[in-house]
Structure 1
Amino acid sequence: MSDFDYRAIDDVIHSRVRLAIMSYLASAHVTEFTELKKALKVSDGNLSTHLKKLEEHRYVKTEKGFVGRKPQTTVEITDEGTKAFQTYVEGIASMLGQSKNH
């Protein structure tokens, strides 16, 4: 059995919605708030709450602006967020690999 400690799993990312956000951004890198909301099928408020938590840990950053007269919010994964997500995925993979051996 490896030395992996399940307590090392990042609780900030481990929430279903935050995991979905990080997974989406890991490949898209940057997206519009409305596109992310549509892809994850969550409400504005739910997405905002989870993005705020990710922003507090510097895993994502949001920028508000305008395209013409229309407001637009973009969401981008940070370098810190990319590293945290990679560590999270490797940790989960390690745990799952242990279960295959038993």
Structure 2
Amino acid sequence: MTPELDPVIHAQARLRVVVTLNALAQGDQITFPGLKDLLGMTAGNLSVHLSKLEEAGYVEIVKTHKGRTPVTYVALTRRGRLAFEEYTAAIRELLGTAGTPAPGDT
């Protein structure tokens, strides 16, 4: 049986976001502009993908101020880390079966 890939993470842009956030230590966060620059995405595109990840409970977005300047921080949640671990395990399993004939194909 082919493993299921999480459709929330599987979209290329969201996968790039999750991979980048997963590289941070648990509990660490990055500013929205920093993440945008790292990924080379537009603010609008990143916002759309972060919203989908936030709806799934995979990222936490905190809006605050540094002095008078608004700052938005993004972090991967525990649930997001677990989902990414499950996603990578499913990919490994899928790749491990590559080249193996399906039952009845011999």
Flag whether TM exceeds 0.5 (same fold): yes
Question: Is structure 2 residue 18 aligned with structure 1 residue 18?
Answer: no
TM-score (norm 1): 0.90
More helix by share: 1
Equivalent pairs counted in the alignment come to 98
Whole-angstrom CA distance in 1 between matches of 2:78 and 2:71: 23
TM-score (norm 2): 0.86
Deviation >3 Å, runs of 4+: none
Q: Secondary structure at the match of 2:18?
A: helix
Question: Is structure 2 residue 23 aligned with structure 1 residue 27?
Answer: yes
Match of residue 48 from structure 1: 47
Match of residue 96 from structure 1: 95
Match of residue 104 from structure 2: none
Instruction: Provide the alpha-carbon RMSD of the alignment.
Output: 1.3
Q: CA deviation at 1:101?
A: 5.2
Gaps of 5+ in 2: 102-106
